[in-house]
A and B are shown apart, each in its own frame.
Chain A
Amino acid sequence: MEDLILKLKKEIIEELNVENMTPEEIDSEAPLFGEGLGLDSIDALELVVLLDKNYGIKIQASKEGPKIFRSVKTIAEYILEHQKK
């Protein structure tokens, strides 16, 4: 789980062009949207692409996004539950 969380943080920084933040500085349980990293609707869609590209998981951003993308931890949990072996 911890490895996955770290990997996700690196991917988020990379794919979402998050500037001036190291993976260590991202709180695993802090909200990603609104506050925290302050991600927006385009970032949410990019996370959908990220899940598909790196983990083979397809989701509907508008329906499932808000719950799955709440924090890095919730994303990691979702991946572990749904990742194709």
Chain B
Amino acid sequence: MVDVFVGASNAITSLGFSTVRHVEQIKTNQIGISIYPGGNLYPTPVPLSIVDNRKLLDLFQEYLHKTKLDLQLDSFTRSEMLHILSISDVLKSSGIDITDSRTLIILATLKGNMDLIGGNNRLPAIGPDRVYLWKWGEFLGSFFNASNKPLVVSNACISGVLAILIGSRLIKAGRYDHVIAAGGDILTEFAVSGFQSFQSLSPKPCKPFDAARDGLTLGEGCGSIVLSRDHSLCGIPEKIVVAGGACTNDAHHISGPLRTGESFYVAIRRALKEASLDPLDMDYISAHGTGTDYYDETEAKALSWAGLERVPVNSFKGYFGHTLGAAGIIESALAIASIRNNELYRSAGFENPGTSQHIAILTDHAVKEVNHCLKTASGFGGCNAAVVFKKI
């Protein structure tokens, strides 16, 4: 039986450009959500979590300079810069050879180069077909001289968790030995206006699971995690494995969740079963928790149904919003940090219980031995995903 170890990770959001930085910021209760005045992201003010663009450009310029690549900043889109910085960070911290034929990059995203949808006015520096997700993926793969074309997964908000599941399964299948699971989305008016048309954005920073919650907060970001059958290449001393996981579909509605929580529950139950763990074995849950009425309620029902109502749980989205394709990767990276640090972090935005089924939302940071962690996700199109990380 092949063990799939998780290794070095990276997270980029408004809070910073590394997983370590995110943990620091979270521990000091920094919230990376600001009210953006009416402007190019939306006509009227809206809370958003946006990556520090000045810093992004500086870091990327520095990276290009360091790698002595004779390339110009303007040959890269914003999404590509984020992914390159993120992936290069995990490569630096691990022993993975990205050019090896046994290594695969999996990219999770909803919209890739979202800023090219309205037309590409950056020709010839940015080719016209970089709006296509496969081309975006190919570009990133060639940048790293990857042997294999990256696998691109576009499956709504579960994309990040799904990328981890797919990576782990392909390693277990013996097809690859190492996977870099990366995920990201940038924000443009495309996304903000779309979610506004669903009236699903809160006018304030989101409050996952809270009684006063009234919508999600959009964020942008990028994350990467190393997966490998060879622990010695992972870049972290702890042996933490992808112990199990599952993906299901509500088969109910294209945008609203199945409110009984049944399909979400099945994904959670299957993930635990594959990991050979009981609900009582679980130390912590990193929930999807977006701050919307129905999705949070559904998730609470599913967790409770699965017997997990007493397991400490948080959502990270109160710190940096819902980062779409990046969410599953970044939040998994932080869940793994919880395991490594034996720490649990407060669920930002939560004050009063607001779901019909009680779940144990973390209201403070805590010190606790964390060996078994569940990460959940759910998205448009009725999809649900769950993955279990286990320290062995």
Contacts and interface: CB of A to CB of B under 8 A. Distances in A.
Direct contact of A and B (CB under 8 A): yes
Interface of A: 40-42, 45, 48-49, 60-62
A52 to B, nearest CB: 10
Contact of A60 (B199, B255, B256): B199
Nearest to A40: B253
Contacts of B254: 42
A49 B199 CA distance: 11
B253 A61 contact: no
In this complex, which of B197, B198, B199, B293 has the most chain A Cβ atoms within 10 angstroms of its Cβ?
B199
A49 B197 CA distance: 8
A45 B198 CA distance: 7
Contacts of B199: 45, 48, 60-62
Contacts of A48: 199
A14 B256 CA distance: 23
A34 B253 CA distance: 14
A41 B197 CA distance: 12
Contacts of B255: 41-42
A41 B293 contact: no
A65 B197 CA distance: 14
A8 B293 CA distance: 30
Given A42-B254, A62-B199, 11 more contacts: A40-B253, A41-B255, A41-B256, A42-B255, A45-B197, A45-B198, A45-B199, A48-B199, A49-B197, A60-B199, A62-B293
Interface string B284-322: 000000000100000000000000000000000000000
Contacts, number: 16
Nearest to A42: B255
A23 B198 CA distance: 27
Contacts of A42: 254-255
12 contacts: A40-B256, A41-B255, A41-B256, A42-B254, A42-B255, A45-B197, A45-B198, A45-B199, A48-B199, A49-B197, A61-B199, A62-B199
Interface of B: 197-199, 253-256, 293
Please list the 5 inter-chain residue pairs (A to B) with the smallest Cβ-Cβ separation, ordered nearest first.
Answer: A61-B199, A41-B256, A42-B255, A45-B198, A45-B199
A9 B254 CA distance: 25
A66 to B, nearest CB: 14
In this complex, which of A42, A48, A49, A60 has the most chain B Cβ atoms within 10 angstroms of its Cβ?
A42
A60 to B, nearest CB: 7
A61 B256 CA distance: 14
Nearest to B256: A41
Contacts of A41: 253, 255-256
Contacts of A61: 199
Nearest to A49: B197
B212 to A, nearest CB: 14
A84 B254 CA distance: 34
Contacts of A40: 253, 256
Contacts of B197: 45, 49
Nearest to B199: A61
A42 B199 CA distance: 11
Nearest to A61: B199
A61 B254 CA distance: 18
A69 to B, nearest CB: 14
A30 to B, nearest CB: 22
A60 B293 CA distance: 14
A46 B198 CA distance: 9
Contacts of B198: 45
A40 B256 CA distance: 10
Contacts of B293: 62
A48 B197 CA distance: 9
Contacts of B253: 40-41
Nearest to A44: B199
A60 B215 CA distance: 13
A67 to B, nearest CB: 16
Contacts of A49: 197
A65 to B, nearest CB: 9
